[in-house]
Structure 1
Amino acid sequence: MRPLAPGVFQLLGRPPHMINAYLVEDVLVDAGTPAARRRISRQLRGQRLSAHVVTHAHPDHFGSSHAVCDEFDLPLWAGQRDIQAIETATPATAPGRLPKLLSHMKMPDPHPVTKGLKEGDEVAGFTVLDVPGHSPGHIALWRDHDGVLICGDVFFRLLGVSGPPDFLTWDREQNRESMRRLADLRPKLVLFGHGRPLRDPDRLRRLVG
């Protein structure tokens, strides 16, 4: 695992930074695709773990959640409006034909959600922020004292910093509002669901205008 900030580590991915998961103190944040199960489990063995948080109910973020929670006997926490999607493995889809076709692909194993997270809850020293749009119950994690933001897929950083693709986003206007909200925090370290960490407090604000 790669240290990024006090108590915050990025799990090693394959390829690096494509689909990210993080260990925050003793909480696993996101769990990649089903294919990442062995790699994630290997990195977590020997770590002190208390819970697993999913930023949003998409199969590249809760893909290995069932396996990891079972192996390490962890409770699963997620945004309240994404609970049903995780427990039934039926993510909310964007409007249009392509998203509908994608929804018929094989989904990860469902898993019961022990706790529905809401605005203001605390997770391992981070505050939960309700930032819907990419999914109905998308959450971010914010640590105010040192400006660390785990933004899930509200932003991507692959070819550059951007919003998520429209065809993967349940409500792009809501996501745009969530982008503005997170940009206004001027985070000193942004950790993405997809892409390398960013250390530039003004980069997100320049994007949203």
Structure 2
Amino acid sequence: MLHPIAPEVFQISLMPRNSINCYIIEGVLVDSGIRSSYKTVKKAIQKIPVYEHVLTHAHADHQGCSDQICAEFEIPLLCHPNEVLRTETGMATQDYPHPQHWIAKFQQKYWAGQGHKVERTIVENDMIGNFRVLETPGHSAGHISLFRERDGVLIIGDVATNMNLLTTAIGLRLPPNIFTSDQKRNIQSLQKLAELNPSIICFGHGPVLRNTAQKFERFVAKCSLAIEK
């Protein structure tokens, strides 16, 4: 459930095969899985206390138990300004290309949590501990990533996944179009992240990647070619 990744960085695996993850970084909870993730997240932060909660974005599999956790542990909730509306209303699937699709309706009904008031918004170059905020829109309008320069740890949210969400087969992929508001813009965000040459990449979906042989950069280069055609 709770896996050390790097100094003061822990992965909380919320579903089998790392299919949904959240993280604790330097005492900050990043994302919270789906509504039913509450007990697992609660157990984790009882072991590793947190003082703040940050969302990479407000989709149902990232904000699911944020309201419960913030209320019970009395910690503030932070997100990008473009995520505030969905964070505070709990309408987590409204920026999907097809919010009336049955999958979107299922996620909204069974995965999404109640909305919660945002204490503070965060934008490009703000700091969360030693992690720098990077605006990485595309999957959602206000998606952010977090990067710690000293050791190259990158919290990527859903800019990319490290698994097939249907089969759970491991491997780098773009997030599915059905959940992504602007895939071209998302790939541009990937290009921005690849320029950082991250050493360790932590995904919302899929196992953590130790970025040997520039595997991530090669993946991004292939994605970039696709949008140029």
Q: TM-score range by the shorter chain?
A: over 0.9
- Whether the 8 Å CA contact 1:163–1:179 is kept in 2: the answer is no
* 1:145 alignment partner, SS class: coil
- C-alpha offsets along residues 141-181 of structure 1, whole Å, 9 cap, x if unaligned? 00011111000000100131011001100111110100111
Residue in structure 1 matched with residue 32 of structure 2 by the alignment: 31
Specify which of 133, 140, 146 is matched with residue 141 of structure 1. Answer: 146
Residue in structure 2 matched with residue 93 of structure 1 by the alignment: 95
Residue in structure 2 matched with residue 157 of structure 1 by the alignment: 162
**Per-residue deviation at 1:25?**
1.4
Identity %: 38
CA distance in 2, matches of 1:195, 1:46: 23
The TM-score, its normalising length taken from structure 1, stands at 0.94
* 1:45 alignment partner, SS class: helix
Q: Show the 5 A alignment for 1:68-147.
A: 68-91=69-92, 92-96=94-98, 99-101=99-101, 102-104=103-105, 105-106=108-109, 107-147=112-152
Residue in structure 2 matched with residue 58 of structure 1 by the alignment: 59
* 1:11 alignment partner, SS class: strand
* 1:100 alignment partner, SS class: coil
- C-alpha offsets along residues 1-53 of structure 1, whole Å, 9 cap, x if unaligned? 21100110111423141100111111001100001001110121143321000
Question: Quick one: which amino acid aligns to residue 96 of structure 2?
Answer: A
CA distance in 2, matches of 1:49, 1:40: 11
**Per-residue deviation at 1:110?**
0.5
* 2:132 alignment partner, SS class: strand
Count of matched residue positions in the alignment of Structure 1 and Structure 2: 207
Q: Which segment is superposed worse, 27-36 or 12-21?
A: 12-21
Residue in structure 1 matched with residue 224 of structure 2 by the alignment: none
Residue in structure 2 matched with residue 198 of structure 1 by the alignment: 209
CA distance in 1, matches of 2:135, 2:129: 17
- Whether the 8 Å CA contact 1:93–1:100 is kept in 2: the answer is no
- Residue segments in structure 1 that go unaligned for 5+ positions in a row: none
Specify which of 162, 179, 184 is matched with residue 195 of structure 2. Answer: 184
- C-alpha offsets along residues 121-151 of structure 1, whole Å, 9 cap, x if unaligned? 0002100000000011000000011111000
**Per-residue deviation at 1:100?**
2.5
- C-alpha offsets along residues 86-116 of structure 1, whole Å, 9 cap, x if unaligned? 10112342324xx422444323211011111
- Whether the 8 Å CA contact 2:89–2:115 is kept in 1: the answer is yes
CA distance in 2, matches of 1:76, 1:181: 26
* 1:181 alignment partner, SS class: helix
Divergent runs of 4+, >4 A:
none
CA distance in 2, matches of 1:162, 1:103: 20
Question: Quick one: which amino acid aligns to residue 93 of structure 1?
Answer: D
CA distance in 1, matches of 2:175, 2:141: 14
- Whether the 8 Å CA contact 2:14–2:33 is kept in 1: the answer is no
- Whether the 8 Å CA contact 1:87–1:113 is kept in 2: the answer is yes
Residue in structure 2 matched with residue 3 of structure 1 by the alignment: 4
